[in-house]
């Protein structure tokens, strides 16, 4: 098993915790809301046998800073932070994998810096909300959720979050996995989750529908068969990307890498094996 180490870096005045291990072409892992680099265990151990695996704690999560200003969580600022972090790590281009919130950041990064992404894998990903009225409604809902987090704290929020229908199939995970997932969620901070919702929620992030055609790298869109909304989004996006495939993982909901890990490993390994990192400058 590869040894992973924590690397503390700074980008645009803020601290980021990055976890790195393995050797080979670079792959960058971006977690979802309430997660951290630890969300990718043990899949990243498999990847590290043949890849240089970089897992980033996104702003407001894990060991990275949690600024109080929601504007600091804006998509373009986090995209530019990610480019800066990769520069500091000596990585010119990489395969980028994102889950849920991390998939939105991965897509925004690929749209902004297409030459830096040689493969793009989006698990339960979305290009955002195109309709402005719907985006405003989502911003209002996220604001109410942020206020509840600030009023009632992390424990009450995690109890609420885990009851969402979106995560119903996580009840079928082994007890040790459920406990580890809950512990990761409880490690979050009020300011980080509230700031992320306000600055980087789907209602705040600019919609990316018009940018999909400019992503030239191969794309794999992964969704769980029981997550109807994200199955639909995956199929819709596949028609717009120049080079995209779709994998629907049976028996999984919003989190296929946890709910059907063996199937997720197979489809991701097959996709990533096709990639070749671009030469470094």
pLDDT along the chain (281 residues), means of 10: 87 98 96 96 92 97 97 98 98 98 98 97 97 96 97 97 93 93 96 98 95 96 97 98 97 96 96 66 36
- Structural element, H or E, at residue 29: strand 26-30
Q: For residue 281, what pLDDT is reported?
A: 36
pLDDT digits (tens, 9 = 90+) for 45-102: 999 999 999 999 999 999 999 999 999 999 999 999 999 999 999 999 999 999 999 9
C-beta separation of 18 from 2 below 8 A: no
Q: For residue 1, what pLDDT is reported?
A: 56
Sheet of strand 14-22: strand arrangement? 5-11, 14-22, 52-56, 26-30, 94-99, 117-123, 219-224, 244-249
C-beta separation of 230 from 256 below 8 A: no
Q: For residue 42, what pLDDT is reported?
A: 84
- Of the candidates 262, 237, 227, 244, the one whose C-alpha atom is nearest the C-alpha of residue 124 is 227
Give the C-alpha separation, 277 to 85, whole Å: 18
Written as six digits, the tokens of 149 are 């987090």
Written as six digits, the tokens of 58 are 């996104």
Give the C-alpha separation, 20 to 81, whole Å: 17
Residues facing 29 on adjacent strands: 55, 97
Which residue, chain included where needed, has tokens 């794309």?
219
Report the predicted TM-score, pTM, of the whole model to 2 decimal places: 0.95
Q: For residue 278, what pLDDT is reported?
A: 41
- Of the candidates 266, 272, 158, 172, the one whose C-alpha atom is nearest the C-alpha of residue 226 is 172
Give the C-alpha separation, 221 to 237, whole Å: 8
Written as six digits, the tokens of 258 are 């946890």
Directed axis angle between helix 132-152 and helix 190-200, to 10°?
170
SS3 1: coil
SS3 16: strand
Q: For residue 3, what pLDDT is reported?
A: 83
């Amino acid at each position: 098993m590869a040894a992973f180490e924590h690397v503390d870096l700074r980008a645009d005045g803020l601290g980021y915790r990055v976890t790195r291990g393995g050797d080979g072409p670079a792959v960058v892992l971006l977690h979802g809301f309430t997660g951290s680099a630890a969300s990718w265990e043990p899949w990243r151990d498999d990847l590290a046998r043949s890849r240089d695996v970089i897992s980033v704690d996104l702003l407001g999560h894990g060991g990275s800073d949690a600024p109080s200003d929601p504007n600091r969580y804006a998509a373009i600022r986090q995209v530019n932070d990610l480019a800066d972090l990769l520069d500091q790590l000596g990585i010119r281009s990489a395969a980028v994998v994102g889950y849920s919130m991390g998939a939105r950041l991965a897509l925004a990064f690929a749209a902004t810096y297409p030459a830096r992404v040689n493969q793009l894998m989006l698990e339960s990903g979305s290009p955002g909300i195109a309709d402005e009225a719907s985006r405003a409604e989502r911003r209002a809902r996220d604001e109410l959720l942020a206020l509840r987090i600030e009023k009632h704290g992390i424990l009450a929020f995690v109890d609420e979050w885990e009851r969402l229908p979106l995560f119903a199939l996580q009840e079928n995970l082994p007890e040790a996995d459920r406990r580890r997932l809950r512990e990761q969620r409880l490690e979050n901070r009020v300011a980080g989750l509230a700031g992320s919702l306000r600055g980087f929620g789907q209602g705040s992030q600019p919609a990316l529908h018009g940018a999909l055609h400019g992503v030239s790298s191969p794309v794999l869109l992964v969704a769980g068969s029981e997550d109807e909304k994200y199955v639909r989004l995956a199929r819709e996006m596949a028609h717009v990307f120049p080079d995209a495939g779709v994998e629907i993982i049976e028996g999984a909901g919003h989190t296929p890498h946890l709910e059907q890990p063996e199937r997720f490993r197979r489809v991701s390994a097959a996709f990533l094996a096709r990639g070749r990192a671009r030469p470094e400058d």
